[in-house]
Structure 1
Amino acid sequence: MAVVQFMVSLDLSVVNVGLPRIGAGLGFSAPGLTWVIHAYALTFGGLLMLGGKVADRYGHKRVLLLGLPLFGLASLAGGLAQEPGQLVAARAVQGVGAATLAPASMALLISAFPSGRERVRAFGVWSATNAAGAALGVLIGGLLTQYAGWRWVMFVNVPMVAVAFAVAWRGVAADRSVARRGRPDVLGAFLATAGAALLVFGVVSTDRHAWTSPATLGTLAVAAALLAAFVVVERTTARDPLIRLGLLANRSVAGANAYTLLLGAAMTSAFYFVSLYLQGVLGAGPARTGIEFLPFALGVVVGSVLAVRLGYRLAPRTLLVGGGLLTAAGFGWFGLISADGSFLADVLGPSVVAGIGIGVCLAPATSAATAGVARHETGSASGLLSSSRQIGASLGLAALGTVAHDRTGRVATPAALDDGYSLGMAVGAGLLVVAVLIALVVLPRTRASSGAAAAPLAD
């Protein structure tokens, strides 16, 4: 399960450093290149809840053993892609595989270690590999891109899939009990994913069509209709719904998900802009870029440790406000990057500040998202939070990427690129300020609870 989680977490960040060479190798346009990230994040986030329902109904080990080959074959296909559409399609299928693997692996871990010190140790290993996958993704991606070629950021998953499949086949016990409450709501998952994808497509396509053009307005209208249909289906379906909508009446759940949506939007955009700034403006190679991302990743680790220590004395709401402000300050500092800057002067300081802020936010958001939720719905609440982060990542990158592209213009000189990236980072800082306001206004005042901030993340 640790190998599976490392792989799923790795793929959220491993392609970032390779994006410039992926774009050059396959002929992506600047806005089109963001779909390498969108395709994975949208299918992962949109189908995550369905993946959990399917695993509960048909068996966690069975779903895991089906999801692993799907993920591996999609990674292989992505590495062999010869044109942009092929890579985007492969990334989308990777997201489908990840949406089955993440909830199934978590459930199997809980089943194998139900209580006691072994459970604490198991979740410690699982959480460490989860964080390591996200943190090391940019470093691994940079080294592979420079010394083996960008295709290896996709191929790297194949041996990990093989190892995980062999160990799971022989070493993971079959499920002792499987939920049979009703058939999973496939229609609802399709409507949510398709609606979010069309919303992102409508925003990204504004580089070719004006916001008021029939093409843009029509796309956004269809996206809104699909998302509205999703709400209707969730309220009326005879199947097992993806999410009980009444859960969002809980102020803590609603506030934490809105906060996480904005955090995911700003955080993913920051990774994207900083990677392109280091390579396209400062001229760093992929390997050096991966190394220069390490302060950002280490900052997240430091912030996560602080969140655990402070979580025994401070309420999640307080930590979310403080962490959000710290992250906003880091992104605002990034907004001051210059075309003739350097890593030490323009990147190191804001990387550390923003990384620590993000780390402080992650676990308290999970704690707030499950506060006051009935025990049998904590899995749904946790899955909803993970979906919010992934969908927020895609929507945020679409919006901020479009803003940056519009500022850059058609002549992509280093100075023009710098203008676009700095504006995108400044807007990301604004999103974090809005997130802090949501935490202050929506989240209820609660006292700190022992260990609350240490709750493991579902993704």
Structure 2
Amino acid sequence: MLTQAWGWPWIFHAVALGAVLVLAAVAALVPRTAGREAGRFDLLGTATVTLALTCLVWSLTTARGAGWSDGRVLGALGAAAALLAAFAVIERRRPDALIPPRLFTTGQVAAGNLLMALLGSVWIALFYFLPLYQQQVLGSSPLATGAGQLPLAGANMLGATLAPRISRRIGGPAAVTAALLTEAAGLMWLSRISADGSYLADLLGPSILIGLGLSIAFVQLTALAVDGVPREDAGLAGGLVNTTRQVGGAIGLAALATLAGSVTAHASTRRPPPEALTAGYRTVFAVAAAVLLATALLALLLTRRTSRRTATTPTGPASDPQPA
């Protein structure tokens, strides 16, 4: 509605206003923690990892126009690698690290974050390319495009509600794998879109599949990433897996946007613009489905391996799993 009435910049104005309101509410309503040393803020680690990710995303997005051999792209990739290595060294040496290395030795934190990063790499891209197809190819208005994604949102809420019940019935590893395969099926269905398609024939069915799979996968992978983490690190583990999802999404969107642009540019030499755009979108959806298929196989492997290791490792009170 904001885009239809006042233009797309108002999306960001609204988000900024909401963030200000949340910050004000936190300052006014959330009590300070008493009786515990807060520790120092890891400014050096925060700055290093932020610069590293900025260089990485910038290089991926710039490579589309400048080419992979461009000196700026190669320099940014090299800087990202050097900064990430420096971040790893910094975190090992700081007593109040932003991401303490010990966190990855407990529970299934490493497995959960890796799988969430892969899921995030296609999650944000989906909500970027799907509206572009609806508006640029099918000719839908911003308001009609948003309304067309309501079934996906409804399926998302339904999946989040059913996720704990599904996990209890078939187990967490099987639930994660099934959810990822369901979303992959929806994306593969989207990879068959055409320039003269329609919402009912091409988008409604895959949207419902994607919504169900996405929400169940999010719930299960979040639970996986905090399972077995000591109580004092539970908040850190929960924040980390959400950050991993966003970082994976930024990197994945940059890479997939570069891929879509390249395919569209190549197709535009012999096809009209709607068909060239559709070719790029189809390629992105197919690659996203392949990423999720690989993630599902990796989830099956990692969750079984970590489950066996957890079952054979004695745990004390400090390592008892906390409820997700």
Bin of the TM-score, shorter chain as denominator length: 0.7 to 0.9
Determine the structure 2 residue equivalent to 1:341. 197
2:14 is equivalent to residue 151 of structure 1: no
Alpha-carbon offset, residue 205 of structure 1: 1.1
2:37 is equivalent to residue 180 of structure 1: yes
The answer for unaligned runs of 5 or more in structure 2 is 311-320
Question: Which residue, 109, 116, 134 being the options, matches 1:278?
Answer: 134
Q: Is contact 1:324–1:357 with CA below 8 Å preserved after alignment?
A: yes
- Deviating more after overlay: 219-228 vs 412-421: 412-421
Q: Is contact 1:317–1:445 with CA below 8 Å preserved after alignment?
A: no
Determine the structure 1 residue equivalent to 2:299. 439
User: Any residues of structure 2 matched to 1:133-282 within 5 Å, and which?
Assistant: 143-157=1-15, 160=18, 172=29, 174-177=31-34, 179-238=36-95, 240-250=96-106, 252-282=108-138
Q: For residues 199 and 178 of structure 1, what CA distance do their matches in structure 2 show? A: 40
Q: 1:198 is matched by which residue type in structure 2?
A: C
Alpha-carbon offset, residue 380 of structure 1: 1.3
Q: For residues 454 and 415 of structure 1, what CA distance do their matches in structure 2 show? A: 49
Determine the structure 2 residue equivalent to 1:387. 243
2:292 is equivalent to residue 425 of structure 1: no
Alpha-carbon offset, residue 427 of structure 1: 0.7
- Provide TM-score, normalisation by structure 1: 0.63
Alpha-carbon offset, residue 262 of structure 1: 0.9
CA spacing shift, 1:440–1:164, aligned 2, 3 Å: closer
CA spacing shift, 1:158–1:260, aligned 2, 3 Å: closer
Alpha-carbon offset, residue 373 of structure 1: 1.3
The answer for unaligned runs of 5 or more in structure 1 is 1-142
Q: For residues 30 and 254 of structure 2, what CA distance do their matches in structure 1 show? A: 42
Determine the structure 2 residue equivalent to 1:406. 262
Q: 2:290 is matched by which residue type in structure 1?
A: G
Q: Is contact 2:63–2:258 with CA below 8 Å preserved after alignment?
A: yes
Q: Is contact 1:308–1:454 with CA below 8 Å preserved after alignment?
A: no
Q: 2:116 is matched by which residue type in structure 1?
A: T
Alpha-carbon offset, residue 315 of structure 1: 2.3
Q: Is contact 1:363–1:454 with CA below 8 Å preserved after alignment?
A: no
Supply the RMSD in Å over aligned alpha carbons: 2.4
CA spacing shift, 1:417–1:373, aligned 2, 3 Å: same
Secondary structure of residue in 2 paired with 1:208: helix
Determine the structure 1 residue equivalent to 2:317. none
Q: 2:57 is matched by which residue type in structure 1?
A: V
Question: Which residue, 166, 170, 176 being the options, matches 1:320?
Answer: 176
Q: 2:307 is matched by which residue type in structure 1?
A: R
Q: What is the percent sequence identity of the aligned residues?
A: 37
Q: 2:146 is matched by which residue type in structure 1?
A: G
Determine the structure 2 residue equivalent to 1:289. 145
1:119-175 residue CA offsets vs partner (Å, 9 max, x unmatched):
xxxxxxxxxxxxxxxxxxxxxxxx1111233233233346656765776666x2642
Determine the structure 2 residue equivalent to 1:360. 216
Q: Is contact 1:257–1:385 with CA below 8 Å preserved after alignment?
A: yes
Determine the structure 2 residue equivalent to 1:77. none
Q: For residues 366 and 167 of structure 1, what CA distance do their matches in structure 2 show? A: 26
Determine the structure 2 residue equivalent to 1:124. none
Q: 1:417 is matched by which residue type in structure 2?
A: L
Q: Is contact 1:311–1:453 with CA below 8 Å preserved after alignment?
A: no
Alpha-carbon offset, residue 445 of structure 1: 3.4
Alpha-carbon offset, residue 433 of structure 1: 1.3
Q: For residues 148 and 53 of structure 2, what CA distance do their matches in structure 1 show? A: 33
CA spacing shift, 1:438–1:179, aligned 2, 3 Å: farther
